[in-house]
Chains A and B, each alone.
Chain A
């Protein structure tokens, strides 16, 4: 049985590092980067890409709509 696999892409320059996605992620995939973006914010990124299930919770709560979510169709994710 394959686990559902997903991935997120963060629009780094749009991200303000508020950290709401980090709390919303049920699999602790997201962390705030040590590096900063052009505005000086610690942007969100996948710290543990294998854990992502593509549930879209992070994108739902993101105030700046900077997260795009992808999910593999279950039959492919063996």
Chain B
């Protein structure tokens, strides 16, 4: 019989926390998708060996403290303005890898104009878009991406399109623009999905070397606190309700 102590040895190591992640414990709620995506970005940066040449642009929202967790250079942008800030950084330092990390309140609401125009100009940046259909940080209010019928604190009887309009598919929107070269929608609810999402993020970073335009990776995520569910229930709810409206897969790959 092999004892567990005989397995836990450095030569048998197959997975550990990325070196690019700091040791600061994340402030996110238990089960939040942000942590998984942070880890994926850190792993991609570590594998590509670009820790010294990557500049991230942090958003406003729950992930505003992203600069505390991923050990690279960061810039904080005003709410929604991350693609505009990233544009400036990339134009001044075209050899750096520049990415923005934004939630749906940031990218799809107040930053719609910046997002669309950065994509239309074809800036060589990567956008990581976390879409959980809600304003998580401020208390679970309805976001532009909230599904029809979905309950949020500002639409307690569910979103009704007659009163609140329709949910917006930002990735489909920017995939129409000639300035984008890679638009994909991923999720991180299962190990298989996480592996696919990592490949997508890796590709989005590598596209910056090809200088063909914006790469946008949308990650359909959960906000279990905002949705008032357990982390596991939130993942199941997302698979049942979010994926039919936000189907996973590549929307554009040139």
Residues on A facing B (Cβ under 8 Å): 5-7, 9, 13-14, 16-20, 23-24, 41, 46, 49, 54-57, 59-73, 77
Contact = CB atoms under 8 A, between A and B. Distances in A.
B188 A61 contact: yes
Given A54-B7, A65-B35, A73-B12, 5 more contacts: A9-B8, A20-B232, A61-B191, A63-B26, A64-B28
Interface of B: 2, 4, 6-9, 12-18, 21, 25-26, 28-36, 39, 188-191, 194-195, 230-232, 235
B30 A61 contact: no
A28 to B, nearest CB: 14
Nearest to A67: B15
Contacts of B191: 24, 55-57, 60-61
B232 A19 contact: yes
A1 to B, nearest CB: 15
A65 to B, nearest CB: 4
Contact of B25 (A14, A57, A77): A14
A60 B4 contact: no
Contacts of A6: 7, 14
A70 B30 contact: no
Given A24-B190, A61-B190, A70 B36 contact: no
A71 B28 contact: no
A62 B21 CA distance: 14
A71 B4 CA distance: 10
Contacts of B21: 65
A73 B30 CA distance: 33
B31 A65 contact: no
B31 A60 contact: no
A54 B2 contact: no
A61 B8 contact: no
A27 to B, nearest CB: 13
A77 B7 CA distance: 10
Contacts of B14: 6, 54, 56, 69-71
7 contacts: A59-B15, A60-B191, A63-B31, A64-B28, A68-B15, A70-B7, A73-B12
Nearest to B9: A70
Contacts of B16: 59, 68-69
Nearest to A11: B17
Given A5-B7, A7-B4, A17-B30, A62 B13 contact: no
B28 to A, nearest CB: 7
A62 B36 contact: yes
Contacts of A16: 29-31
B35 A72 contact: no
